[in-house]
Structure 1
Amino acid sequence: MKEEGMRKRVFFATICAFIFLFSVSLDAATYYEGKTIRIVVGLSAGGGYDLWARTIARHLGKFIPGNPTVIVENMPGAGSIVAANYIYKAAKPDGLTIGHISGNIFFNQLFGQKGIEFDARHFEYIGAPYQDEQVIFIKRGRGVSTLDEWFKAKKPLRFGGQAPGSTFSDNAPRVLREALGLPIKTISGYKGTAEVKLAMEQGEVDGNSLSWTSGKAVWAKELKTGDIIPILQIVPKPIPEIAHVPKAINYAKTPRAKKLIELVVHDPAKYARPFMLPPKTPREQVHILREAFHKLLSDREFIAEATKARLEIKPATGEELKQAIEDLFALSPAEVESLKELLLK
């Protein structure tokens, strides 16, 4: 009798578990059906962040139960701090608003800068499609065409960015000036890559630090004609397509110089392009969107469009992003103060 009773309890428990899982599956399908997901991009239209968001938006919905519509909204300002504040404070944690910002603004939080209304450690991270490989691009005809010429230049090259401490466009030139002694002047205040590109064409600035995948998309024609020159790559391993271009770390003459390049450019590459949700988004929605994002990045149609747009897929998971950000906030007070003085001046 006892054995028979045990069998009945096991059978009943199995049925209950099946019903629960089936109901969760149905809830997931019905939750997103007929709804619209917004991807809020913290930088202006026409740049690399915008291109990633729009390419992803065209394919993401088919991997989400209920097949919701996915749209993109640009919310530029302060290097994407405006958008990050919005995602953190104003967006509903309902799985219908995804943020895509420059992860470099997490330095601004680390430094205790005014205007930061978010805590990077509390976002729910979906993942990143690409781990940045930073390259310095300069405009032809500005007196410099090789790294040796740049080191010897009497006039500094002007680099456009968004806001001090907020993007690689702002941070990388400052690090190169400090670590390598390259003559550089930084000019912030542009809303995004598209505006910096226009400034380069109009002669306001001479160069820009961009990821290789963004640079070859934004400057596709100019790279072919030689009007834009990739003069330096700030990566731990050479980018195969431009293996001949010098690596910044090889020109760092002191341990401190090498450490600066690693802390500010190499390490943040993983979380530079995060897609994330507001804090307290229900676990079910976080799981659904992480799964959809993962499936998307291996989808043939998506890969074909990304390849056509010259976007390279080199993903990081939501869990990997969260850990990398935890590591950033584990820096010592002395390291934080040193970086703050460098990046915000």
Structure 2
Amino acid sequence: MHQRVFIVAAVALTGMLNGAAAQSGGSAAPDFYRGKTISILIGAPPGGGFDLAARLVARHLGRQIAGQPAFIPQNMPGASGVRVIDYLFNVAPHDGATIGITLPSSYLSKVLDSSEGGKPHQMTWIGRLAAFRGYGVVWTDVPVKNFAEARERAVSMGAEGPTGLAAVTMSALNALGGSKFNIVKGYSGNADQGLAMQRGEIQGSGSLSWEYIDSLDWVKQGKIRFIFNIGLSRYHRIPDVPTVTELIDNEDDKAVVRLIASSTEIGRAFVGPPGIPQDRTEILRQAFTAMIGNQEFRDDAEKLKLELEPQTGAEMQKLVTSAMNTSQKVIDRTRDFMPGLK
């Protein structure tokens, strides 16, 4: 039901957009994409949910664009996704032939980092497939059943780089919530952390995706416990798992954790460089919305166990702009949990 509501909205929005285009005489550059190859840069390694999402879009988005351009996905992991943002902002042509998907924590890095580089609110937002909530999990034989017990007993938890969502969240929970997570950094993604858990290198992970967990049937088999949900709202499939903001009592501290968790609302969103001509921006945005409403696309997403909570490019633009306007007090405090930021 949750997914169906979003799909109906997407179909309705597609009709409105197409109607508006017809009234204005259509795009000023309907043939720009004919014969073109569009690159989708992926700020994550192969095999994870972001990689699957990008390859799904690469198979379907071109069918919704006049001229049916080819889409080529290219993995570009690095710096917890910041590499893709900076490449799109500073290197890629700003003509609408290169777009990307990257990790939500990369946008948080940009909110907090005053140095030069890509500015997310100035980039061209195309649309979002879904929010991305990460989950802190441990094996069921680990002597920590919930966050309260994580305050009493240390547990080794996998994470990506020091600015990744898992590491930043657990660092904040340790400092502000009194937990004793032993954060083991350096894993490349969900699959890498999952293998490390199975090898016994770590007892859990600080940010596994639902798709990855579900693909291994760990929930059905009762192999893991959920400790926290890195998101602003509880997930309907596991409604008893608290969000990280619920684990913090002090309101000033809660604002810091809320900012960290807000990056999950960026989720699996597609973005282009700044300055893409407006007519091409509208072509990409309308095509993305039409793709979301396409039954074949939805069927493929379901086969991959990729849930859909779409938002339009315009909605994403507002969301990112709002995040970039976070108060300096909260930014300064949050920087303490992302080492190396200026």
1:172 maps to 169
Residue correspondence of structure 1 range 121-136 to structure 2 within 5 A: 121-136=121-136
Paired with 1:73 and 1:295, the residues of 2 have a C-alpha distance of 23
In the comparison of the two structures, how many residue pairs are matched?
319
Paired with 1:67 and 1:81, the residues of 2 have a C-alpha distance of 30
What is the deviation of 1:237? 3.3
Matched, 1:223 2:219: yes
2:257 maps to 261
- Describe the shift of the 1:42–1:247 C-alpha distance in structure 2 as closer, same or farther (beyond 3 A): closer
More moved, 46-55 vs 186-195? 186-195
Residue correspondence of structure 1 range 31-180 to structure 2 within 5 A: 31-112=32-113, 117-153=117-153, 155-161=154-160, 163-165=161-163, 167-180=164-177
CA deviation vs aligned residue, 1:202-224 (integer Å, no higher than 9, x gap): 2333322336543444x532232
Matched, 1:332 2:327: yes
- Describe the shift of the 1:310–1:288 C-alpha distance in structure 2 as closer, same or farther (beyond 3 A): same
Counterpart of 1:197 in 2: which secondary structure?
Answer: helix
Tell me which amino acid in the other structure corresponds to 2:251. Answer: P
Paired with 2:180 and 2:246, the residues of 1 have a C-alpha distance of 18
Paired with 1:257 and 1:335, the residues of 2 have a C-alpha distance of 9
Contact kept in structure 2, 1:134 and 1:234, CA below 8 Å:
yes
- Describe the shift of the 1:38–1:212 C-alpha distance in structure 2 as closer, same or farther (beyond 3 A): same
Matched, 1:271 2:270: no
- Describe the shift of the 1:85–1:235 C-alpha distance in structure 2 as closer, same or farther (beyond 3 A): closer
Tell which structure's C-alpha radius of gyration is larger. Answer: 1
Tell me which amino acid in the other structure corresponds to 2:49. Answer: G
CA deviation vs aligned residue, 1:159-217 (integer Å, no higher than 9, x gap): 312x233x322322223223321111223333322222222222333322336543444
- Describe the shift of the 1:246–1:107 C-alpha distance in structure 2 as closer, same or farther (beyond 3 A): closer
Contact kept in structure 2, 1:134 and 1:210, CA below 8 Å:
yes
1:3 maps to none
What is the deviation of 1:148? 4.2
CA deviation vs aligned residue, 1:41-72 (integer Å, no higher than 9, x gap): 01100111111111111111111111111121
Counterpart of 2:105 in 1: which secondary structure?
Answer: helix
2:229 maps to 233
Which TM-score applies when normalising by structure 2? 0.84
Counterpart of 1:343 in 2: which secondary structure?
Answer: coil
- Describe the shift of the 1:283–1:270 C-alpha distance in structure 2 as closer, same or farther (beyond 3 A): same
Which TM-score applies when normalising by structure 1? 0.83
Say what the alpha-carbon RMSD is for the aligned residues. 2.5
Counterpart of 1:144 in 2: which secondary structure?
Answer: coil
More moved, 132-141 vs 95-104? 132-141
What is the deviation of 1:250? 3.3
What is the deviation of 1:113? 6.5
Counterpart of 1:223 in 2: which secondary structure?
Answer: coil
Contact kept in structure 2, 1:158 and 1:185, CA below 8 Å:
yes
Contact kept in structure 1, 2:37 and 2:72, CA below 8 Å:
yes
1:10 maps to none
- Describe the shift of the 1:341–1:247 C-alpha distance in structure 2 as closer, same or farther (beyond 3 A): closer
2:317 maps to 322
Tell me which amino acid in the other structure corresponds to 2:225. Answer: I
1:301 maps to 296
Paired with 2:61 and 2:171, the residues of 1 have a C-alpha distance of 36
CA deviation vs aligned residue, 1:130-157 (integer Å, no higher than 9, x gap): 122332222343333444433321x233
Paired with 2:56 and 2:99, the residues of 1 have a C-alpha distance of 14
What is the deviation of 1:229? 2.7
- Describe the shift of the 1:244–1:58 C-alpha distance in structure 2 as closer, same or farther (beyond 3 A): same
Contact kept in structure 2, 1:76 and 1:192, CA below 8 Å:
no
Structure number with the higher helix fraction is 1
Paired with 1:211 and 1:21, the residues of 2 have a C-alpha distance of 46
Counterpart of 2:253 in 1: which secondary structure?
Answer: helix
2:279 maps to 284
2:25 maps to 21
Contact kept in structure 1, 2:41 and 2:101, CA below 8 Å:
yes
